[in-house]
Amino acid sequence: MKAILEFNLPEESEEHIRAVHAMDAWAAISEIRNNIRAHNKHGGTSAKQLVEQILLIAIEAQSWIGE
């Protein structure tokens, strides 16, 4: 089975970039979840530090999709 994504460029360039980087975005979400889970289980970082870590991950993920 094959799935083929087709984009009309340049009109759908944003959609294309998001599809290309979907796995990177998924990895960023997974990293955020792991950071939250570790914070809840082990502590060690303040809530402020956790929010800063999450913000850095989100900023990096947004840079991949041109936002």
Give residue-wise pLDDT tens across range 4-42.
Answer: 999 999 999 989 999 999 999 999 999 999 999 999 998
Beta strands in the chain (DSSP E): none
Residue 11 lies in a domain: no
d(CA 44, CA 62): 27
Number of domains composing the chain: 1
Residue 8 lies in a domain: no
The model's pTM is: 0.76
Domain that holds residue 30: 16-64
66: region left, alpha or beta (phi > 0 left; psi from -120 to 50 alpha): left
Q: Is the confidence at residue 53, as pLDDT, over 70? A: yes
d(CA 17, CA 23): 11
Q: Is the confidence at residue 65, as pLDDT, over 80? A: no
Q: Identify whether the C-beta of residue 66 lies closer than 8 Å to the C-beta of residue 14.
A: yes
Residue 9 lies in a domain: no
